[in-house]
Amino acid sequence: MKWKNERVVVFGGSGCLGYAIIRQLLAKGCLIRSFQRSPAPEFEDLGIKVVRGDIRNLEQVKAACRGCTAVIHTAALAGYWGGYRDYYTTNVEGTINVLQACQDHDIRRLVYTSSSSVAYTPEQHVEGLDESAPYPERYLSHYSATKSIAEKHVLGAFNRELSAICLRPHLIWGPGDHYIVPELLRRARKRVLYQVGDGSNMIDLAYVDNVAHAHILALEYLEHQSRFRHAYFISDGAPVNMWGWISELLNKLGEPGVTGRWPLEKAWRVGKYSEKLYRYLPFQPTLTRFLAGHLGYSHYFNINAAAKTLGYKPRVTPEQAMNSTLQWLRNG
């Protein structure tokens, strides 16, 4: 792939994953635009054009795509609580805006950051799930529900000339993460980190640089495809014991460990009650059924399709990922 001829716009470039993708694109020598809400003087110093805007604004999205040859779309509203309308306008309508901009500017390659959570509901063990699994009939979070709708739009895009790949990472973590590890630390320090279930559940993790690498591979693959659309699970390829991994992380940071243990059935009941109660309160509940399921059940995936088609292989080992994340956290 002749990267020096490419002009790539990254939606969500200031986020944890977007920033990692931009770093890897810089090494390829292509021209890069970062579409984001906040200013980024450090990007400008690196020769990256920063386009500030809101992905819900079609005209701003179209302006960002003008003159580009490819799009990587990582922008999303993440989380497990909030109003459905907020999630829908960002995750669904924002993605439709990106698709419209691709059509208007004759951009034929799109890599979209989806989520593994579009393919299952968390109240069950998910062990070795692959891309043949159908979408579930219901979801327990607005995030998963709207990411599923957005993915369906990408895979069934009205632009017949578009080739698109949806990548489904599970639990992106690493330097720059503002969700998974920081939330674990917050709960541990407040002594509200409860182990859910018997502690035997296995999970996939997706180190941010590995996920970024998958996006680069996907863009390279699309160069030689026509009207190609597919989704792929992405992870570090080595499921870990969830509570063992959490304990190792907290122990190496010198933080408090697990406060106590709850049976999965109890956590599920508390989560269901909290959802009803906090619906009328201006706060975020500590536990929901979505969280209870992710804390108590196994969730890991088969990444053979990404390996075979895209040539994906995690470049950062679990040990290297842990050490890099610990260093980032310690440096504050």
Domain boundaries, the chain: 3-173+205-236+300-315
Q: Does residue 205 have a pLDDT over 90?
A: yes
- pTM metric for this prediction: 0.96
Q: Does residue 1 have a pLDDT over 80?
A: no
SS3 98: helix
- Of all residues in the chain, the percent with pLDDT exceeding 70 is 100
Say which DSSP state 136 is in. Answer: P
Is 143 annotated in the active site?
Answer: yes
**What is the side-by-side order of every strand in the sheet holding 49-52?**
49-52, 31-36, 7-11, 70-73, 109-113, 163-169, 229-234
pLDDT of res. 230: 98
Q: Does residue 137 have a pLDDT over 80?
A: yes
Average pLDDT across the chain, whole number: 95
pLDDT of res. 332: 72
Q: Which two tokens stand for residue 217?
A: 């591979």
Least confident of 165-169, 194-198, 207-211, 275-279: 275-279
pLDDT of res. 246: 97
Residue 221: which pLDDT band, with cuts at 50, 70 and 90?
very high
Section 23-39 average pLDDT: 93
Q: Cα separation of 294 and 33, whole Å? A: 35
CATH topology of domain 3-173+205-236+300-315: Rossmann fold (3.40.50)
pLDDT of res. 308: 98
Report residue 231: phi and psi, to 5°. Answer: -115, 145
Q: Write down the catalytic residue from 87, 139, 143, 194.
A: 143
Q: Cα separation of 95 and 157, whole Å? A: 10
What own/partner pairs with CB < 8 Å and gap ≥ 24 does 35-44 have? 35/9, 35/10, 35/11, 35/60, 35/61, 35/64, 35/75, 36/12, 36/75, 38/14, 40/13, 40/14, 43/13
Residue 122: which pLDDT band, with cuts at 50, 70 and 90?
confident
Q: Does residue 94 have a pLDDT over 80?
A: yes
pLDDT of res. 165: 98
* CB-based burial label for 89 (10 Å; 0-12, 13-18, 19+): middle
pLDDT of res. 34: 96
pLDDT of res. 281: 82
Q: Whose CA is closest to 207, among 167, 250, 174, 180? A: 174
Residue 269: which pLDDT band, with cuts at 50, 70 and 90?
very high
Q: Does residue 3 have a pLDDT over 80?
A: yes
Q: Cα separation of 140 and 117, whole Å? A: 10
pLDDT of res. 271: 94
Q: Does residue 331 have a pLDDT over 90?
A: no
Say which DSSP state 203 is in. Answer: E
Residue 207: which pLDDT band, with cuts at 50, 70 and 90?
very high
Say which DSSP state 48 is in. Answer: P
Q: Does residue 268 have a pLDDT over 90?
A: yes
